[in-house]
Structure 1
Amino acid sequence: MRKVKKVAAIIVATITLATATGCGSQNTSAPHIDSAKSLGVKVNETTQVKRVIALANGSAEIISALGFKSLIIGRDIASTDAELKSIPIVTSGHQVIPEKIIALQPDLVIIDRSTGPEVALATLRKSGINVITIPEAWTLTDIPAKISSIAAAIGAPRSGQVLMTQFAKKLPQQLHERKKVRIAFLYLRGGSAIYLVGGKQSGADSLIAAIGATDVGAAKFSQPFTAMTSELMVSLNPDLILVMSKGLESVGGVEGLVDLPGVAQTAAGKAKRIISVDDSLLLSFGPRTPDLITQLSNEVEKVSQR
């Protein structure tokens, strides 16, 4: 999925586990979070640009939340808020197609370090298009800087400040008081035989901490992702497993996930305590994140009672 230093880290960490079947029935379903409400502000402010292509991860969602959806003429595949449905995706997966972007005649193209390939970006710059790089966000504390950079790029700094203030107010602080649940975040791509356990800076660790739970992978590993093995899963023994929805589907649903090495021997596997979140939503780290955290906390509370 897209988003894990995460898109790049996942690609680098691609590992095949020959013992994993990735098969199984889909008779058991997992609670699924497929959408979240976005924050939004409206400030009387005139921007410096009129036509923006937002290619940085989730940047179109932030521009829309700032009140300037009308500026966006193209978006990245990761900006999936329903409000943006009418705006075309102008990348092939995560790859930039310069001819397609140049044809739209943008004033500004917003990218981040994950945007590429570099040769395509060089073509955009040579064509005279203003290309601005904004910082990525993989934790809750990264989001204000991302908002600020995007607001500055389009010439709407006051809107950015208002959105950052709203973001801080909407984060559900009280969730830190709940009893800790041990959660493992798994990145799964059954079709490619990729099975990874999230660690520190996977992105999911920030969300798990925000709901007052413990990320067992992050507690053990300093790197974002580690190959999943039977021994590792048994040693981590999570109470609950968090996955992306397409990843869960790729291994055959809940039953297929439980069939993966060591999962059935964990407390989560035995009770089939699994939660899936839409791929684009989970690591979007933007205006939908506060509502996602609230929903995730509620689902964890329900599932952990099993």
Structure 2
Amino acid sequence: MVRQSAVALLTAASLALAGCGAPAQQAAQTGSYAEIIDDNGRTVSLAEKPQRIVVTSASFLAPLYAVGGEVVGRPVTKSKVIPEAESAATIGPVYQIDAEKIIALTPDLVIINKGMNEKLIETLAANGIQSLVIEMKSYADVKREIGTFAALTGEQARGEELTAQMDADIAAVRASIPQEKKRIAIIHSTGQGLSVQLSGSIAGNIAEMLGWENTAADMPALDKNPDAAPYSMETLVAQNPDIIFVTSMGEEAEIRASMEAMFRESPAWQSVTAIREGRVYYLPQEMFLFSPGIEYPAAVRYMARLIYP
């Protein structure tokens, strides 16, 4: 929920454009510039429009700038940084954010990546710095946070236009491909091993948006990762998916070589339709490991075109 005294925020009608379960954001007269309930359930009241913003995830940059925001600090990252934010001060790698570097930038708001950087909240508060915890994984997350960022910048109309255009672009992709129920599996490869991605993962979310069936949908999730299930070659062979997507964390070329060797050397894998028909596709990390943010339509298009070139 977002409230702002200066400008009436997103109405119920405009939020209908965003869809996908985005929470209602209502206008109200309060004594502050904006009052926001973040993704940790905290109510954050901002007395004035934030002028010095620091983000702990590069995924927040493009959506924030798209609605008129800018940052003074950002993480060091392997993912693409939009040109407008390249000159911003760096605050350390996303997994090792340096609180002292943030404090030295004297921000009036720090936007924190949910599930990764919440440990910063207490230190920032002790130094009089407000924070918002944001999750930006699924497409619904992205649209919700565009609304939050638009409330911070006072550019609600731009936020509504952006989400409406994203919806239209994705609808156009879906309309351009056959409406058939592809059975897909998504294997995630890291240096620690393999897992199977569920609907809550980025690739799983996009496959679901395209109307395809994830063969792992009913598998129990890992204890520490609700978006993934344990890898089992026997289970995947029995599920016999039409298509296999591979996402990865690490050196993509090495992971691809390792996966192809695994498929090639196992008689069991050779019985799977996706392997037998050469329908194994490796998904780029910049779209399917890191949140594509406002590039979600491009990620949807990318996956669709792999199957329907």
TM-score (norm 1): 0.71
1:277 aligned to 273, 283, 286, which one?
Answer: 283
Q: Kindly provide the amino acid, as one letter, of the partner of residue 170 in structure 1.
A: D
Name the structure 2 match of 1:101: 102
Matched position secondary structure for 1:296: helix
Q: What are the residue-to-residue correspondences of 1:8-157 with 2, within 5 Å?
A: 48-56=49-57, 58-68=59-69, 71-76=70-75, 77=77, 80-83=80-83, 84-116=85-117, 118=119, 120-134=120-134, 136-157=135-156
**Which moves more between the two structures, 137-146 or 73-82?**
73-82
- Asked whether the equivalents of residues 74 and 88 of structure 1 are also in contact (C-alpha less than 8 Å), the reply is yes
The normalised TM-score by structure 2 is: 0.70
Deviations along 1:63-93, whole A, 9 cap, x unmatched? 122243xx22222438625434444542324
**2:273 equivalent among 267, 290, 299:** 267
1:236 matched residue in structure 2: 239
Return 5+ residue gaps in structure 1 as ranges: 1-46
CA distance 1:176–1:89, change in 2 (3 Å): farther
Is 1:53–1:106's contact at 8 Å kept on the other side of the alignment? yes
Which structure has the larger Rg over C-alpha atoms? 2
Calculate the aligned-residue CA RMSD, in Å: 2.8
Give the letter for the 1:299 counterpart.
Answer: L
What amino acid does structure 2 have at the position aligned with 1:92? Answer: P
Deviation of 1:274 after TM superposition, in Å, equals 2.1
CA distance in 2, matches of 1:231, 1:53: 46
**Compared CA separation, residues 218 and 155, structure 1 to 2 (3 A):** same
Once the two structures are TM-superposed, the CA of residue 99 in structure 1 deviates from its matched residue by 0.8
For residues 86-143 of structure 1, what are the alpha-carbon distances to aligned partners after superposition, in whole Å with 9 as ceiling and x for unaligned? 445423242321011112222221114223251x332122112221223x24332333
Q: What is the deviation of 1:207?
A: 0.3
- Matching of residues 167-246 of structure 1 within 5 Å: 167-172=166-171, 173-175=174-176, 177-189=178-190, 191-192=191-192, 194-221=193-220, 224-246=227-249
Do structure 1's residue 256 and structure 2's residue 261 form an aligned pair?
A: yes
Q: SS of 2:302's equivalent?
A: helix
Taking a change above 3 Å as real, the CA distance of residues 155 and 250 of structure 1, as seen in their structure-2 partners, is farther
Which structure has the higher relative contact order (CA within 8 Å, separation 6+)? Answer: 1
Counterparts of 1:199 and 1:260, CA distance in 2:
26
In 2, Cα distance between equivalents of 1:82 and 1:257:
37
